[in-house]
Structure 1
Amino acid sequence: MFQNRKESPKKNGLPNKKELPKYIIAALIITLVINIVISLISQSNHKQIDYSEFLTMVNNKQVESVEIYSDKLVITPKSDEDASAINKKLYYTGNLDYPQLVDKLYNADVKFTTPVKNTQSPIIGFILSWIIPFAIFYMLGNWFMKSLSNKIGGGGGGFMSVGKSNAKVYVEKTTGVSFKDVAGQEEAKESLKEIVDFLHKPERYTKIGAKLPKGALLVGPPGTGKTLLAKAVAGEAKVPFFSLSGSGFVEMFVGVGASRVRDLFAQAEKQAPCIIFIDEIDAIGKSREGNISGNDEREQTLNQLLAEMDGFDSSKGVVILAATNRPEVLDKALLRPGRFDRRVIVDKPDLKGRENILKVHSKNIIMDESVNLKEIALATAGAVGADLANMVNEAALRAVRMGRDTVRQDDLFEAVETVIAGKEKKDRVMTENEKSLVAFHEVGHALASALQKKTQPVHKITIVPRTMGALGYTMQMPEEEKYLMSKDELLEQIVVLLAGRAAEDLVFNEITTGASNDIERATSIARQMVTMYGMSEKFGMIGLESIQNRYLDGRPVRNCSDEISAEVDREVMNIINESYEKAKNLLKANMEALGKISSHLIFKETIMGDEFMKILNSIQIDEPVNV
């Protein structure tokens, strides 16, 4: 069961004990002020006059009514009909017990009365004038402060609790996730299992003199399962688990973030042993280097976090987990041992990891017996856990659309293509010339792959347009997972990418915009060969570029002068031009295969790898085929 362990400032809509006196005092002051104002307004409308002046007014028929009390007379003069009751002026004078007063008033047509003495209890009067107004202002003040705190303080906690921590606390196995639900990250799980085991059985480690690590930083690309791992820790630890985002510390008020950090660690020490998880810690942990302003909210929050991590005793069993995909922007003081003792890399899974992730996400999906998840894992190199989960779900949705009760292999492959290239655009109709051009382009890729020795086998060729802009594509699937690429393999990969444009040039003697993505990818590989891999004879093993934001976009940053950069551009152009000429030569020597396979593709629109190889093997070719 999910529990929120924040200090609840209200119960049944009422303030807590600390805030109660403030509300009572405020309500009393408002009630007193209102009563005084009403009394002053009442007195300002009454004016004392002489008894003789009163008699003159009666004689001149200027009196509308008179209220006769034992000690005074309250006179209401005649006034304009448009005058409001609030603005009407009243007069009063002493009661002289004038015997002919009643006759005089009667003859002057003046209304007169003697009010009945008020028999109302003083207690009821006190309640009406003090208790009820006090209760009304108390409730209005409570509602106003609550709504104001929701707007400024981020929800519950009252206006005075803006600086309170808003961490969610999970207790026991409330997350519903355990280490069994996390696949493809065995090394990361091993590091975190040790922390969980230390919390459960500290005597095993303290006996030998070992200390509990203060913190662990989970680092990796988006979608690899950093937050899922943290939830698994919550499910396994069976201790209070404080979970919040780095952005939850930062508010518009300077000092609020630091106050929340103090409150978070104060709560954690009371609940020890426990775990604190800060997601997206880069929101508050950015480097202070080069920051001119020394008093901004983020820096104060970071300084307080550093102080708290140094101040608490790890023997109490408080462990800090944090996650980020931008470790390069974090402050060096935050990363040093003694604060985050471990850096747990949560990287993209390998072949076995992807297969295990597919098994985890498909355990509740009804799969056909013919499904081979290893083939899907081979076809999804570079995919992270979130991608694979999405693919399995897309396959299940497709099976339902097709009216089937089980998910088949073709559903999974179609889901892979949907995530990579988008859905098929069945309403896009290409002209015969465009269709023919796309077919020769894609077969050019496939032939270049088949006619070289170190390329990946062709799995599928299609000229069906996709929603992400592709008019067709050639899908290759490796036979095994590879972690290293040789120079020859990279050059052959560039040749395959440029073979589509080469086929257009050879067959139609024209070039189109269809090769834009191929050119971009080929240029990127060639530039990395020159600047990062040391595969250029001209520059040798010199690092001319480095990767920035490795776990996000991986954008390269130049580390050389403008003169060297210009030479790098020329070297990249040479690699591209040589690879393009090689692609043209391969296709020129096998024009028969190019034409025959392209005609077959135009007719069927989609052909699989085994069908492609069958046609190719039936034709005399000049290069060895990569089977």
Structure 2
Amino acid sequence: MQEKKTPKKPLIYYCCIAILVLVFLNAFVFPLLTPQVTEVDYGTFLKQVENHEVKKAEVTDKQIAFIGVNGEGKDAYYVTGVMDDPALTQRLYDAGVSFGKVIPTESSPLLTFLLTWILPTFVLFGIGALFMRSMQKKMGGQNAMTFGKSNAKIYVEAQTGKTFADVAGQEEAKEALTEIVDFLHNPQKYTAIGANMPKGALLVGPPGTGKTLLAQAVAGEAKVPFFSISGSEFVEMFVGMGAAKVRDLFKQAQEKAPCIVFIDEIDTIGKKRDSAVGMGGNDEREQTLNQLLTEMDGFDGKKGVVILAATNRPETLDKALLRPGRFDRRIPVELPDLQGREAILRVHAAKVKVADAIDFSAIARATSGASGAELANIVNEAALRAVKCGRNAVSQSDLEESVEVVIAGYQRKNAVISAREKEIVSYHEIGHALVAALQTDSAPVHKITIVPRTSGALGYTMQVEDTEHALLSKEEAFNKIATFTGGRAAEELIFGTFTSGASNDIEQATKLARAMVTRLGMSKDFDMMALETVSNQYLGGDTSLACSSQTAAKIDDEVLAIIKKAHEKAANILKEHEDKLHELARYLLEKETITGEEFMEILHR
């Protein structure tokens, strides 16, 4: 729950109040200040003059205004038209009427008030508002009146709404952060022995693994205020604004100590500094980083201010940021294992209605490599599918279909595929499944389908490991490549041609074969020599060769030899079991989708 602040009234609020005030003045106040004037005919005017009821008169070219006596014996204002009466002046003089200004000729008080006060005020206010809005756009949305103020979202004590019970699949990270929670609860236990709590802890891991959730859970467990800000919010157009925001953030944190300050995506401002001169040598980002380093050195960790930061690019951070006394604790928040995935699925499934006897273990096995965010999305997709199908609870089939949606996209129910292409796709997928099933060290076939998906796949074969594997042997890697080539091998054997359906298989096989040679040391020629370097390991793991051009050519030759050998193995397996290939392909063509159990039953009968 965000800290409550008095909301600012919108401009329309004040405009409505001003209009109501003007209406009130015009209806009740201005009429009392303005004399009431009655129009009479010229004869009535002359009669009042003869009866000496006119006290003062003002004769103009357009009208005659006079003060007369009304029926109640009180003075009143009158006007009448001008007539051709040369003796009027003498008649008025004889009746004792005085001459002078009777009714003021200036504009009404309301008009005067509007023109002299309201209109200039609104013009000046409008010009000021346009200027402030223009300045705010140039500053990236920052209000010009809040220079140097941090945009940190402040959550009041115990109101982040998250605890360690909301975090599943990250037991090691929770254990590492429990010590920080204990310090915020009982700081005297640590100060009594002279121990200093680390000022900062860096949460590193792939996107979607729960780094922000962990930081919120720490604040929820410790029941202390929680400051949350993104690293990009420190970056400003004006030089010095980022550093000013850092100073303001730490000032607020020390005022509310004990508390937790969480900086998400800290690599935005914490990148390594270079030695370049000119434009790149001392830019706004580096000034912000320098101020952050200074502030972390300057505050007393014993007061209970803990700095947590998250990034998925730890290799880009400046070394000064990672030294002891700053972010000296690095807490990995990795992708969850099998048990972790099952626990995460159960946490998110508790928020929706699920049917009885849901096998979360099967879903966890089918989602190897999925992050916590992806697992949450799978549960949500299952709930949406249950509603779409008219059910009031999520079933096992909903969860299994949602896994396929996340992996391969939605079914293209209106896709038009010719009978010939559909037959090729059927043999292609059975080729994958047969090669996988007839090898050792290969994951069991879970499902085969030739229903097109929105990802572009015309079909796919899903394999699910029975247990979690932390290591990949050379035999397993080679068999995976053979399985990738099984689809193309089936096309060659049955149709004697090549299609573009194997494009993704080719990419995956080449990637794995190259990794065997360059990074996994599974080559006799290169032995344990590292030939590639990996960067951004949490963001896809981009690789770059670290060898000469001659060596690169030898690498290509060995990668090609591995793929050829695997392709040959797949082709031999399919030739030996060509009858089963035909039988299974026809069955798949008829059913369009079959389970692993159906596949194995036909294969072994």
2:150 corresponds, among 159, 165, 171, to 165
TM normalised by structure 1 equals 0.77
For 2:503, the equivalent position in structure 1 comes to 516
Residue type matched to 1:547 in 2? V
Equivalence map 1:580-591=2 (5 Å): 580-591=567-578
Is 1:262 paired with 2:218?
A: no
For 2:3, the equivalent position in structure 1 comes to 3
**CA–CA separation in structure 2 for the residues paired with 1:406 and 1:133:** 62
**CA–CA separation in structure 2 for the residues paired with 1:128 and 1:302:** 54
For 2:68, the equivalent position in structure 1 comes to none
Alpha-carbon distance, 1:153 to partner = 5.4
Whether the 8 Å CA contact 2:297–2:325 is kept in 1: the answer is yes
1:354 corresponds, among 341, 344, 350, to 341
2:485 corresponds, among 488, 495, 498, to 498
Residue type matched to 2:348 in 1? H
- The 1:115–1:297 alpha-carbon spacing in structure 2 relative to 1, beyond 3 Å, is farther
- The 1:115–1:136 alpha-carbon spacing in structure 2 relative to 1, beyond 3 Å, is farther
TM normalised by structure 2 equals 0.80
For 1:17, the equivalent position in structure 2 comes to none
For 1:88, the equivalent position in structure 2 comes to none
2:366 corresponds, among 373, 379, 382, to 379
For 1:421, the equivalent position in structure 2 comes to 408
Whether the 8 Å CA contact 1:152–1:162 is kept in 2: the answer is no
User: Which 10-residue stretch deviates more, 162-171 or 473-482?
Assistant: 162-171
Alpha-carbon distance, 1:159 to partner = 2.9
Whether the 8 Å CA contact 2:230–2:265 is kept in 1: the answer is yes
Alpha-carbon distance, 1:399 to partner = 1.4
Equivalence map 1:165-204=2 (5 Å): 165-204=150-189
Whether the 8 Å CA contact 1:154–1:162 is kept in 2: the answer is no
3-state SS, counterpart of residue 566 of structure 1? helix
2:205 corresponds, among 178, 202, 220, to 220
Task: Please give the per-residue CA displacement for 1:155-190, whole angstroms capped at 9, x wherever unaligned.
Answer: 67x634221111110012322211100100111111
For 1:475, the equivalent position in structure 2 comes to 462
Alpha-carbon distance, 1:209 to partner = 2.0
Residue type matched to 1:3 in 2? E
For 2:313, the equivalent position in structure 1 comes to 326
What is the number of equivalent residue pairs in this alignment?
Answer: 515
2:527 corresponds, among 533, 540, 543, to 540
Task: Please give the per-residue CA displacement for 1:36-66, whole angstroms capped at 9, x wherever unaligned.
Answer: xxxxxxxxxxxxxxxxxxxxxxxxxxxxx9x
Task: Please give the per-residue CA displacement for 1:268-325, whole angstroms capped at 9, x wherever unaligned.
Answer: 1111111111111111111112544223111111111111111111111111111111
- The 1:476–1:136 alpha-carbon spacing in structure 2 relative to 1, beyond 3 Å, is closer
Task: Please give the per-residue CA displacement for 1:533-588, whole angstroms capped at 9, x wherever unaligned.
Answer: 11000110000001110000211111111111111000000000011111111111
3-state SS, counterpart of residue 461 of structure 1? strand
- The 1:381–1:135 alpha-carbon spacing in structure 2 relative to 1, beyond 3 Å, is same
User: Which 10-residue stretch deviates more, 134-143 or 404-413?
Assistant: 134-143
**CA–CA separation in structure 1 for the residues paired with 2:347 and 2:367:** 16
3-state SS, counterpart of residue 460 of structure 1? strand
**CA–CA separation in structure 2 for the residues paired with 1:434 and 1:133:** 75
Alpha-carbon distance, 1:12 to partner = 6.0
Alpha-carbon distance, 1:133 to partner = 9.1
1:236 corresponds, among 221, 225, 228, to 221
Please give the root-mean-square deviation of Cα atoms over the aligned residues, in Å. Answer: 2.7
2:323 corresponds, among 336, 354, 378, to 336
Task: Please give the per-residue CA displacement for 1:364-401, whole angstroms capped at 9, x wherever unaligned.
Answer: 22222231000000000000001101111111111122
Whether the 8 Å CA contact 2:275–2:281 is kept in 1: the answer is no
For 2:436, the equivalent position in structure 1 comes to 449
Whether the 8 Å CA contact 2:409–2:454 is kept in 1: the answer is yes
- The 1:173–1:138 alpha-carbon spacing in structure 2 relative to 1, beyond 3 Å, is farther
**CA–CA separation in structure 1 for the residues paired with 2:565 and 2:316:** 40
- The 1:314–1:427 alpha-carbon spacing in structure 2 relative to 1, beyond 3 Å, is same
User: Which 10-residue stretch deviates more, 599-608 or 289-298?
Assistant: 289-298
**CA–CA separation in structure 2 for the residues paired with 1:153 and 1:302:** 20
Is 1:612 paired with 2:595?
A: no
Residue type matched to 1:187 in 2? E
**Percent identity between the two aligned chains:** 58
Whether the 8 Å CA contact 1:277–1:321 is kept in 2: the answer is yes
- The 1:591–1:12 alpha-carbon spacing in structure 2 relative to 1, beyond 3 Å, is closer
Residue type matched to 2:376 in 1? A
Whether the 8 Å CA contact 1:4–1:168 is kept in 2: the answer is no
**CA–CA separation in structure 2 for the residues paired with 1:145 and 1:590:** 78
Alpha-carbon distance, 1:234 to partner = 2.6
Whether the 8 Å CA contact 1:4–1:169 is kept in 2: the answer is no
Whether the 8 Å CA contact 1:166–1:248 is kept in 2: the answer is yes
**CA–CA separation in structure 2 for the residues paired with 1:117 and 1:604:** 100
**CA–CA separation in structure 2 for the residues paired with 1:140 and 1:404:** 56
**CA–CA separation in structure 1 for the residues paired with 2:412 and 2:119:** 69
User: Which 10-residue stretch deviates more, 398-407 or 588-597?
Assistant: 398-407
**CA–CA separation in structure 1 for the residues paired with 2:364 and 2:245:** 44
For 1:367, the equivalent position in structure 2 comes to 354
Equivalence map 1:46-125=2 (5 Å): none
3-state SS, counterpart of residue 343 of structure 1? strand
Residue type matched to 1:355 in 2? E
For 2:295, the equivalent position in structure 1 comes to 308
Whether the 8 Å CA contact 1:170–1:234 is kept in 2: the answer is no
**CA–CA separation in structure 2 for the residues paired with 1:425 and 1:132:** 63
Residue type matched to 1:313 in 2? D
User: Which 10-residue stretch deviates more, 348-357 or 160-169?
Assistant: 160-169
For 1:575, the equivalent position in structure 2 comes to 562
**CA–CA separation in structure 2 for the residues paired with 1:507 and 1:137:** 82
**CA–CA separation in structure 2 for the residues paired with 1:585 and 1:141:** 81
1:397 corresponds, among 364, 373, 384, to 384
Residue type matched to 2:169 in 1? G
**CA–CA separation in structure 2 for the residues paired with 1:272 and 1:314:** 10
